[in-house]
Structure 1
């Protein structure tokens, strides 16, 4: 919404005249997309929530600085990006290393569904929105330094003109383009080589069948059967616990050493996280007389094989909209 339209809707000549409830209502329209933007920048669902709140607070306090040279939405994005950069400078001055992101948290599809949908004539925009919220992208972008990360997301995800990105970052267009080249090279280094061939999603029958077999084999703690579904170069991580496992043998050996084969009473519930198939596992607890959250396994599937498993702890279930317990019969 352009500046004139914003002011006309509110019936004022400047945002300095706006009452707080009206301003909040206007800003709230952009909450979900700002939250996703901050999530891409930070990799943490909870940090993104805090940063959006900080964004709205800063926007309210600085409402008189909205001069109408950009849209209200772009103005909020600038404030949100600065809030992310400030948080990164304070909490995580160094980017991730070694292919691991200990602070990585999942994003539920049910909330991503609140984003404005791309039009039927915008398949590339829909694909971009999906690809840049998948966990592999989040992990790769967290390996970039904060300012190049911001430039990459503003330019390649939000499609801001290079001139606007340069103005926002206080740099020249040439410097921004040079930083973008380095950032894109860094992304290629950390993204899977076959990314353009990824499959998955609820409309993919082959993926659904693979996820079903993965669920059944996991509930039976059948490591040998699970091994047949993994690609040779599969990657497995469990943030925030350190320890990235790469390769089928390393992943399987880790499961065996952790005593996975001796576990009992598991049930799996299908889910979708970060636009990827996932399985929420519950374990029977006799004392509570119910199945309680254990882990959620988020899968990346390529060519009919599992190429990545990212495991999150059961404390993520409420955020993901998953049941906090299942009764004895296993119904939700």
Structure 2
């Protein structure tokens, strides 16, 4: 870990135009800044763009850094305001409506709350900053604050409320620090935070089943391994009853970017029977992890070639030995960020030939 003297030396060299010194100065913060941007923006692609713009701004304005606060706090201030600008920019959000649900889909339970720009975040990136610790004001643990339900809840908030909640309840900054970073007053921050907490807590209480939104279990948890194995088996065998047996009674199914959801066992059974387990479909499944949760790259057999093609990335929320929510991301381009290929060869050793472990796997 760099000492205060090392940091001061790097700042001086970077101010003199040494790009290598600047890279050394900020590289220890870049991964957590990316996650910060992801929480506010809900999109990994947008978070990557925001991070690059943050670092470019920091390079250009390093001479303005007076060291009244830590370098980390200064970088967070830049990143937060960069994200708020992006949230407010109309160009950032989709200009077209999400695709209409296919005619084969059964009637949904209602409209979902996941925004069309929502993307999953690969756990392999989270491993790069596991040693970061929130401040004393933090209300959420790190794993809870990256869960898909939490990130979705943040997207329901107005920009300033979103930033206030992340700075105070996730990163643990004091109200005065958050106010300085947002260019407002402590009273305004506390007011925004109060309203944001009400919205987020209400959303988390009904998402994921039974109000259980505590941190996801670690990948090595034996019960999670068993659940992942059973879910993989059910999908690859097209065993609808075995799959339904794994679901909580109030399970919640969503398919971003489509703004619809299915709730409860009966709705889940209708959806899986009509779409996932439609006759003639055959799947291979590769376990991975996203947002601190189990996830799967799902591949469907191509009837005209000896390959399974990427079909969806499925992110799973669990409570005990049951699945409380399933989010299927139909934009298969996100799978490359998890180290998952576009295709898999068809099985050659029977219906459940062992899968080769792929980058990003966690099961």
In structure 2, C-alpha distance between the alignment counterparts of 1:85 and 1:198, rounded to whole Å: 27
In structure 2, C-alpha distance between the alignment counterparts of 1:155 and 1:271, rounded to whole Å: 31
In structure 1, C-alpha distance between the alignment counterparts of 2:153 and 2:178, rounded to whole Å: 21
Aligned residue in 2 for 1:8: 9
- The counterpart of 1:181, out of the listed 183, 191, 194, is 194
Q: Contact 1:206–1:304 (CA<8 Å) still a contact in 2?
A: yes
Q: Contact 2:41–2:87 (CA<8 Å) still a contact in 1?
A: yes
- The counterpart of 2:180, out of the listed 167, 187, 195, is 167
Q: Contact 2:144–2:215 (CA<8 Å) still a contact in 1?
A: no
In structure 1, C-alpha distance between the alignment counterparts of 2:320 and 2:4, rounded to whole Å: 48
Q: Contact 2:299–2:312 (CA<8 Å) still a contact in 1?
A: yes
Aligned residue in 1 for 2:272: 255
Matches within 5 A, 1:258-273: 258=275, 260-273=277-290
Say if 1:9 and 1:259 are closer, same or farther in 2 by CA, change over 3 A.
closer
Say if 1:183 and 1:4 are closer, same or farther in 2 by CA, change over 3 A.
farther
Matches within 5 A, 1:182-261: 182-192=195-205, 194-195=211-212, 200-258=217-275, 260-261=277-278
Post-superposition Cα deviations, 1:116-169, rounded to whole Å, max 9, x if no partner, equal 4258xx9x9897111101101111111111111101100111111111111222
In structure 2, C-alpha distance between the alignment counterparts of 1:127 and 1:163, rounded to whole Å: 19
Aligned residue in 2 for 1:103: 117
Uncovered stretches (5+) of structure 1, i.e. residues with no partner: none
In structure 2, C-alpha distance between the alignment counterparts of 1:180 and 1:280, rounded to whole Å: 37
In structure 2, C-alpha distance between the alignment counterparts of 1:144 and 1:88, rounded to whole Å: 11
Aligned residue in 2 for 1:69: 68
In structure 1, C-alpha distance between the alignment counterparts of 2:40 and 2:68, rounded to whole Å: 25
Matches within 5 A, 1:31-42: 31-42=30-41
Q: Contact 1:151–1:180 (CA<8 Å) still a contact in 2?
A: yes
The count of residues paired between Structure 1 and Structure 2 equals 325
Aligned residue in 1 for 2:97: none
Say if 1:129 and 1:263 are closer, same or farther in 2 by CA, change over 3 A.
farther
In structure 2, C-alpha distance between the alignment counterparts of 1:171 and 1:11, rounded to whole Å: 30
Q: Contact 1:100–1:244 (CA<8 Å) still a contact in 2?
A: no
TM (norm. structure 2) is: 0.81
Offset at residue 297 of structure 1 (A): 1.4
User: Higher mean Cα deviation, 304-313 or 321-330?
Assistant: 321-330
Q: Contact 1:279–1:296 (CA<8 Å) still a contact in 2?
A: yes
- Residue 130 (structure 1) aligned with residue 147 (structure 2): no
Aligned residue in 1 for 2:296: 279
Uncovered stretches (5+) of structure 2, i.e. residues with no partner: 95-110, 357-363
User: Higher mean Cα deviation, 150-159 or 225-234?
Assistant: 225-234
Aligned residue in 2 for 1:113: 127
Say if 1:245 and 1:2 are closer, same or farther in 2 by CA, change over 3 A.
farther
In structure 1, C-alpha distance between the alignment counterparts of 2:70 and 2:259, rounded to whole Å: 42
In structure 2, C-alpha distance between the alignment counterparts of 1:138 and 1:260, rounded to whole Å: 30
Q: Contact 1:3–1:72 (CA<8 Å) still a contact in 2?
A: no
User: Higher mean Cα deviation, 97-106 or 212-221?
Assistant: 97-106
In structure 2, C-alpha distance between the alignment counterparts of 1:178 and 1:164, rounded to whole Å: 15
- Residue 30 (structure 1) aligned with residue 43 (structure 2): no
| Cα RMSD for the two superposed structures | 2.7
The 3-state SS of whatever aligns with 2:89 is helix
User: Higher mean Cα deviation, 224-233 or 283-292?
Assistant: 283-292
In structure 2, C-alpha distance between the alignment counterparts of 1:317 and 1:72, rounded to whole Å: 34
- Residue 324 (structure 1) aligned with residue 353 (structure 2): no
Q: Contact 1:55–1:83 (CA<8 Å) still a contact in 2?
A: yes
Post-superposition Cα deviations, 1:70-117, rounded to whole Å, max 9, x if no partner, equal 1111111111111100000003689xx952222111111111101142
